[in-house]
Amino acid sequence: MNKINENWLERNTFHHADFWDLIKLVEEKENKGLKISLCIPTLNEEKTIGKEVLILRSELMERYPLIDEFAVIDSGSKDKTLEVAKNYGADVYLASDILPEVGDKRGKGENLWKAIHQLKGDIICYVDADISNIHPRFVYGLVAPLIHRDEISYVKAFYDRPLNYSSGLRPSGGGRVTEILIRPLFSLFFPELSHIIQPLSGEYAARREVLEKIPFPIGYGVETSHLLDLYAMHGLETFAQTDLDRRVHRNQTTNALGKMSFGILQTFFNRLHAQGKLDRMPDLETFYRRFEVEEGKYHQLVQEVIEEERPPMIDIEGYRNRMASS
Amino acid sequence: MLCKNLLHSLNQWLMEIQEIDRETALSGLLDQIPERIKKISEKRDSFLTDTVLLGEIPSPTYGEDERIRAVVDRFRENGLSAPNIDEFGNASAHLPGTEGQSSILVMAHADSVFSREVRHEIQVGSGHMSGPGIADNALGLAAMIALPRLLDDLGIRLRDDLILVANSRSLGRANLEGASGFLETMSLPARAGICVEGSTLGRLSYSGLGTLRGEITLQVPSDYDWKRFGASGAISHVTGLINQIREIPIPKEPKTQLVFGGLRCGSSFNTSPKQGTLRFEITSEDDDIIGQMEDQLNEICEQFSAETGTLVSMEVVAKRQNCSIPFTHPLVKTTRSIMQEAGITPKVDPSTGDLNALILSGLPAVTLGLTTVENLREINETVQLDPLYAGMTQLVSLIQAIDQGICDS
């Protein structure tokens, strides 16, 4: 791993506890004249949306005025998602009502994209609706690096997904799709991006000026495309990531993860094709990059994985001789 | 003689004026109740949020540290004076009054019956919230924390200091250790006290019930003679022991009750257990009866042990005396008036909780419940939000009444 990258991990990786002083954060936000919008994309989330709106609005709009606008953008829920969200004070929109002239497509990315048009903030923070242990850190942990550091324009969340507590040293990573699809792909094609600990996390905050310049896949590929497109435009320095500790959410079936992977692969190969990497394949990287965390510090582990190959047995003289003599 | 009569008349006249003043003050306060219920419902987000955030921190008795630290953080954020965690694990802070000659104590216990292993997740619906320990007592705790901001929102400045306490070690074996410890070391003189519980709206406790909580442990010794007549495992023996305890006569007057609250014995289908534990509680309006029943239980244990060759021991884990302030005490009368004006039907319910510690320390005190509750002490404990605003209003109004001297005896 080169020095610049190693330094990036240290400089641009935060923990939400770094930003505990919300009074100071609000002061700096006001000094810089920034407006922040919070957007929760929803589809049938009545079980968790009430708690998210209640806690985030009460803590981050009323107690500490960090958020200026709080919107729930819905894809046409059949349950009471909108009623519950409205009851606790969120501005509620149907994605289909925003920019009707461009039509209505069904998917989380559509809601995120239309939020750029509907919301007024200089910074937009996106938080998924299915977090059952919601806490204000899910928002202030993401917007704080953007408030403090002008050169950062996109902040991703990562979480504690403990796999092994007993040894004190534990691998740290994303979910199953991250570990078996995204990380190997990034290691092969975009090694620098493998510094993002959880590239698929659904919580991130970004400046309007970068969001308005990138396309949004409406389905599963939206998080991957953001990383690939912004990396191509601004390099690794535009990103930061914040450890938000534990996130409790629904577990997905393997079938659902397969569908998700299929969507992500489409997005990924479209980018490879657009960047000419598919037609003129570069030499593939042989270093596989993953993370481990020790005493609260994240380290990237780089492991050389060379998939050596043997020729067909029929090409081996010894084999042919044995077969001829038998 | 003439002078004495004159003085007596003057005194009576002064008392009548005082009574009229009190009634006028109370009437003014009652008039504001409907408007207050509305205002408090508009300001609900902050205390509903605290209910969720505090309720999601596990806080079993003797393991309240994290929840208590969160309470102290809130006290600080709300700008209260002297936020502190004392040697008993209680969190406390002051809202200074304009005069500060006296104080009003508001207490909510921070411990819960749920262990750390239970998933503490609160769900929020349109008109209700549910999760383990939300009513007992995350909601009471959040309501206590919310008081300074609510008083400010309602434009109420108290003359007395308001002392807010999140007390630890209240339930079960803790025997009110936190509340008693706080009261022993409290420096400011208090005018009255209020214990706040999430459950149940209409609750009016002004007396503490004499209580004895105990645990009887039966062990089959390693050298137990399994060939002796009537030999059996712990389950049969504990059953026999329960039958003998049930023979103890329990008087209807003074009201007395014996409840078996827990039984642990065995772990499989086919192995006779060697040990069993029985938990019980005796409550009675007469402390002597509790004492007599304790003696009888000890005798039964001793006799049962000798007759069966088992080892039976009884441990008293908590004991409280009866205590009360009169039904006619101005604090109780005023509370009833406030409840009625807020559309709450008072239900007199003697307490076995922190109220005992307050009244035994000489403080006139009541316990109030805040809203209607379902599935109390179950994982899906549920509090209704609509009745909560009347519940919060009664609490705020009672504090104001105490502050105005309406509840002084």
pLDDT in tens, B339-372: 999 999 999 989 989 999 999 999 999 999 999 9
3-state SS, one letter per residue, for A20-57: CCHHHHHHHHHHCCCCEEEEEEECCCHHHHHHHHHHHH
Q: What confidence score (pLDDT) does residue B1 get? A: 62
| Sheet strands side by side (includes B128-130) | B123-124, B128-130, B382-384, B373-374
Distance from the Cα of A70 to chain B's closest Cα (Å) equals 15
Tell me the one-letter amino acid at B18: Q
Q: Mean pLDDT for each consecutive 10-residue tract of chain A (326 residues)? A: 68 95 97 98 94 97 97 96 95 96 92 96 96 94 98 94 44 74 90 91 95 92 94 96 84 81 90 81 72 72 75 86 89
Q: What confidence score (pLDDT) does residue A226 get? A: 95
Q: Which residues of A touch B56 (CB under 8 A)?
A: 133
Q: What confidence score (pLDDT) does residue A282 get? A: 65
Given a cut of 90, whether residue B405 has pLDDT beyond it is: yes
Q: Which of B48, B77, B121 sits opposite A54 (nearest CB)?
A: B48
Task: Tell me the C-alpha to C-alpha distance, in Å, between residue B162 and each of A237, B168, B181, B360.
Answer: 52, 19, 19, 21
Q: What confidence score (pLDDT) does residue B303 get? A: 95
B interface test, pick of A22, A23, A26, A54 with most B CB neighbours within 10 Å: A54
Q: Average per-residue pLDDT in chain B?
A: 93
Query: Per the structure block, which two tokens stand in for A193?
Result: 């991006």
Residues B56-76 as b/e (b if ≥16 CB within 10 A, e otherwise) read bbbbbbbbbeebbebbbebbe
Cβ contact, residue pair A248, B52, below 8 Å: no
Query: Per the structure block, which two tokens stand in for B401?
Result: 């009444």
Q: Which residues of B touch A51 (CB under 8 A)?
A: 52, 122-124
Q: Which residues of A touch B383 (CB under 8 A)?
A: none
- pLDDT mean over B226-241: 85
pLDDT in tens, B298-334: 999 999 999 998 999 999 999 999 999 999 999 999 9
Q: Is the peptide bond before B326 cis (omega within 30 degrees of 0)?
A: no
Q: What is the ipTM of this complex?
A: 0.85
Cβ contact, residue pair B125, A54, below 8 Å: no
Any B CB within 8 A of A86 CB: no
Task: Tell me the C-alpha to C-alpha distance, in Å, between residue B290 and each of B209, B279, B302.
Answer: 11, 16, 18
Label residue B152 exposed, middle or buried (CB < 10 Å: 0-12, 13-18, 19+).
Answer: middle
The C-alpha atoms of residue A94 and residue A96 are separated, in whole angstroms, by: 5
**Interface of chain B against chain A, CB under 8 Å?**
45-46, 48-49, 52-53, 56, 77, 121-126
Q: What confidence score (pLDDT) does residue A304 get? A: 76
Q: What confidence score (pLDDT) does residue A254 get? A: 82
Q: Which residues of A touch B126 (CB under 8 A)?
A: 50, 80, 83-84, 87
Cβ contact, residue pair B49, A248, below 8 Å: no
Q: Which domains, from first to last, does chain B contain? A: 32-208+323-403 (3.40.630.10), 210-320 (3.30.70.360)
Q: Which residue has the higher pLDDT, A298 or B375?
A: B375
Determine the residue of chain B that is closest to A23 in CA distance: B77
Cross-strand bridge partners of residue B219: B275, B311
Cβ contact, residue pair A51, B126, below 8 Å: no
Residues A68-104 as b/e (b if ≥16 CB within 10 A, e otherwise) read bbbbbbbbebeebbbebbebbebbbbbbbebeeeeee
Q: Which of A51, A62, A84 sits opposite B52 (nearest CB)?
A: A51
Of B290, B265, B286, which is closest to residue B213 (Cα–Cα)? B290
Residues B374-406 as b/e (b if ≥16 CB within 10 A, e otherwise) read eeeeeeebbbbbebbbbbbbbbbbbbbbbbbbb
Is the Cβ–Cβ distance between A50 and A134 less than 8 Å? Answer: no
Q: What confidence score (pLDDT) does residue A6 get? A: 62
Long-range contacts: B234-240, Cβ < 8 Å, 24+? B234/B265, B234/B266, B234/B272, B234/B273, B234/B274, B234/B275, B234/B276, B234/B310, B235/B265, B235/B266, B235/B272, B235/B273, B235/B276, B237/B276, B237/B304, B237/B308, B237/B310, B238/B263, B238/B265, B238/B276, B238/B278, B240/B304, B240/B308
Q: What confidence score (pLDDT) does residue B317 get? A: 92
Alpha helices in chain A (DSSP H): 3-12, 22-31, 46-57, 81-87, 108-118, 137-148, 176-177, 183-189, 208-211, 222-234, 254-274, 317-325
Q: Which domains, from first to last, does chain A contain? A: 3-325 (3.90.550.10)
Cβ contact, residue pair A50, B125, below 8 Å: yes
* Residue for token pair 């955030």: B53
